[in-house]
Copies of this chain bind each other. A is one copy, B any other.
Amino acid sequence: MEFKRLTPYQEALKLMLDDLGEVNDEEVSLKEALGRVLAEDVTTPFEIPPFNRAAVDGYALRAEDTFAAREYSPVTLEVIEEVPAGRAPRKRVEPGKSIKVLTGAKIPEGANAVLMQEHAIREGNLIRVLRPVAPGQNVAFAGEDVKKGQVVLRKGQILRPQDLAILKALGVKRVRVKRRPRVGIIVTGDELIDEPSEDAFRAGKIVETNSVMLMGLVERYFGEPVFYGVLPDDPHEIREAMEMAKKENDLVLVTGGSAFGDRDYAHHFVRLLFHGTTIKPGRPIGYGERVFVMSGYPVAVFAQFHLFVKHALAKLVGARDCEIRVRARLMERVPSQLGRYEFVKVRYEGGIARPIKRRGSGIMSSLVESNGYLVIPEDSEGYLEGEEVWITLY
């Protein structure tokens, strides 16, 4: 038996995405928030900086007083106050006066610029100004960083170290992020063993690797993997595990048993929205009821993850983006069959992409050698040597 119809990739993707909603939010501390997805827009309750402040250590003064200053003919100003760190200036800067300030200090009344201390010679309570400064020079103006009420971080942002820093600056202590989706992983196949041995190989066994790969991928893309073990090709056991995993998780991945082989059972136990797509490798993937029925071969599983499951996870957490895409020049031509949405592994380095060609979908070393992929849509016969293409890095 063959697939009656292969669902075009984009159509299958849309069917799947439309079927999934977002998971709930939760509140975490800033330290726990790294890499999590923001669940709401964050606006500022005040301006940043909250006042005009010095951007360097030096002398707050009236820029006009320095216009004539030159190294060979300095201008002399009086220093009327020295403001230590974390204190505000008390006096006002009148013509001919200056106030010593440290970086970050509030600019005193009357001053409109800061002279770097390296550009002055101090003599008692006087300075000799060696060069002119422009109005506003070395001043960080109130609100110039962030205006009050402005959205600084949007829902869907994957929180990076610098995002946590701005949240702290705003006084945010706990932040609403999306819960990490739980992803149940079920691996099936009578031929699978946990570690290699001569005897096992002679008996036709294969070392199972999908579990560790999928757990790592799920973790990397917003999720929390839950492994349900390696099951034999027994329809009852598989059905039971799938039922349990569906109850306990936001998403379920079942590897093995997606095709129409004699021992491919998994696809019988869910109402699939599609089964069989134009992607290559990985054609027999099916999706329905928050369950992906996937191939057994690791390379097919890897392609299915990137083309489908990754986007499902991004949808569940409302992530604005889950891919790094770069332009690269192809080192060799990559032909493709019409009607197939091809997933081609490449090695990207220095703006050049080298296709990693290996026969067979069991070829694991190609995954290790590659660091990204390109896709060739159904209506294309591929790309020429030297052509510029989009690479998605992994």
- The secondary structure that dominates the A interface is loop
A216 contacts B164, CB within 8 Å? yes
A171 B145 Cβ-Cβ under 8 A: no
Q: Does A263 contact B (CB under 8 A)?
A: yes
B153 near A368 (CB under 8 angstroms)?
A: yes
* A274 to B327 Cα, complex, angstroms: 38
Q: Known: A191-B85, A192-B86, A326-B327. Contact between A164 and B212, CB under 8 A?
A: yes
Q: Closest CB of chain B to A389's CB: distance in Å? A: 11
Within 8 A of B (CB), among A166-208: 166, 168-171, 173, 189-192, 195-196, 201-208
A17 close to chain B: CB less than 8 A: no
Which residue of B86, B171, B328 contacts A204 across the interface (Cβ within 8 Å)?
A: B86
Q: Which residue in chain B gives the minimum CB-CB distance to A2?
A: B118
| Residue A140 lies at the interface, judged by CB distance under 8 Å to chain B | yes
A161 touches B217 (CB 8 A): yes
A50 touches B365 (CB 8 A): no
Q: How far is the CA of A105 from the CA of B83 in the complex (A)?
A: 80
Oligomer copy total? 2
- Contacts A34-B219, A204-B88 known; A50 to B196 CB distance under 8 Å? yes
Number of A interface residues in the complex (CB < 8 A)? 98
Complex Cα–Cα for A368 and B190 (A): 50
CB distance from A12 to the nearest CB of B (A): 20
Asked if B189 and A145 make an inter-chain contact with CB atoms under 8 angstroms apart, the answer reads: no
Beyond A86-B191, A145-B365, 5 additional pairs, beta carbon < 8 A? A51-B202, A102-B261, A104-B191, A105-B204, A117-B261
Mark A residues whose CB is within 8 Å of B: 1-2, 30-31, 34, 46, 48-51, 53, 55, 57, 83-89, 102-106, 117-118, 140, 144-146, 152-153, 160-166, 168-171, 173, 189-192, 195-196, 201-210, 212-217, 219-220, 233, 259-263, 296-298, 302, 324-328, 350-351, 358-365, 367-368, 393-394
